[in-house]
Amino acid sequence: MIVKSQGLVLRIQPYSRTSQITVWLTPNHGRIATLAKGAYRPKYTSQGQCDLFYTCELLYYPRETPRLNILKECSVLDLRLEFRSDPGACACASYLCDLTARLCPPDSPHPELFDLLGATLNSLPTARFQVVLLFWFELRLLALMGLAPRLTTCPLCSEPVLSQSSPAHFSAVEGGLICADCAAGHTESRHTLTPDVLAVLQDWEAAPTPQQALRTVCSARQQNILRSALGEFLHYHLELMPPSRAIAFNLISGGSPK
C-alpha cells in the first residue's frame, strides 16, 4: 500500500553513505519518518525535492516495525527559499521545527499543528518582529496541547485576577496567573507581570493568526520578561528546553547564543 500525503520537513539526517532519513509533520499522520534510499547518489530521482522547511507532496510505503517508512517519491509544494538568506529567520524556523518534532507524537493526526507551523513559517521572513511570532507560536502550541496558561482567573482559588493597576504573579508551577492573596503564601519561582506585559500576553493568546499577533508592539523590556516567563512555563509543563530556543532568541535580539 502506498500512502500519499503533504509533509513539512522538520529534520534531515544521514542514514548511510547513500541514504537519508527525513522527519516530517503531516496533517493526517502526525510526525512520520521516511527513509530515502540512494538520496545522496547523483542520479537520485527526487534530488532537490526535499530540504529543511519545505512543504512537499510525498508518496511512501508505510512500515510499522520499525517506524521508518520507505519514501517512494516527493515533489515540492513550497520551497521557503527566504530562509537560505536570512540567518535570523532560519534560526527561528529551526527552533519551531525542533520544538514540533519533540512534541508531536508519531503517527497521530494533528492537522491544527500542521496548519499552525506552516502559517508561522510563511510569516517569519517578512515579519518586522520575528520574536513576536516565536512567543505567539509557543502560546498556540500550548493551547493545542491543552496546556495554555490561565490568564484571567487564579488556578488556586478560581477568583478573577485583577491586575489593571497592579502587577500580576505568573507561576509556571501553578499554571498561570495567581492572585495576590495566593501569591503571598507561595515561595516557588514566579514572574511579576506588569499590566502592560500582561496585556501583550493576552493579546497574543487571543490572536488567531500570525498577522494579528504581529500587530502587537513589544518592547525589549517586555520581550525579556516574557522570554523568561514562557521559557520556564514550557520547561515545567513540557519537560524540555531545546537549545535551539536560546539560539533563536539570542540571534534575533542581537546577542550571542548561550
Q: Identify the CATH number of the domain in which residue 108 sits.
A: 1.20.1440.120
Could you tell me which of 69, 64, 65 has the C-alpha nearest to residue 26?
69
Is the residue at 109 inside a domain? Answer: yes
* Domain co-membership, 23 together with 51: yes
Give the pLDDT band of residue 217 (cuts 50, 70, 90): confident
* Domain co-membership, 213 together with 141: yes
What is the pLDDT, as a whole number, of residue 124? 95
* Domain co-membership, 32 together with 126: no
pLDDT by residue (tens digit) across 117-146?
999 999 999 998 999 999 999 999 999 999
Is the residue at 226 inside a domain? Answer: yes
Q: Domain containing 128: what range?
A: 95-252
pTM of the model: 0.91
- Phi-psi map region of 230: left, alpha, beta (phi>0 left; psi -120 to 50 alpha): alpha
Q: Which helix (H) or strand (E) holds 224?
A: helix 220-238
What is the pLDDT, as a whole number, of residue 42? 77
Choice between 33 and 166, residue whose per-residue pLDDT is larger:
33
What is the pLDDT, as a whole number, of residue 213? 94
* Domain co-membership, 9 together with 130: no
What is the pLDDT, as a whole number, of residue 14? 92
* Domain co-membership, 133 together with 23: no
Last residue in a domain, options 79, 108, 140: 79
Question: d(Cα 73, Cα 58) in Å, to the nearest integer?
Answer: 6
What is the pLDDT, as a whole number, of residue 164? 55
CB within 8 A of 16, min separation 6: which ones? Answer: none
Question: d(Cα 241, Cα 238) in Å, to the nearest integer?
Answer: 8
pLDDT by residue (tens digit) across 222-234?
999 999 999 999 9
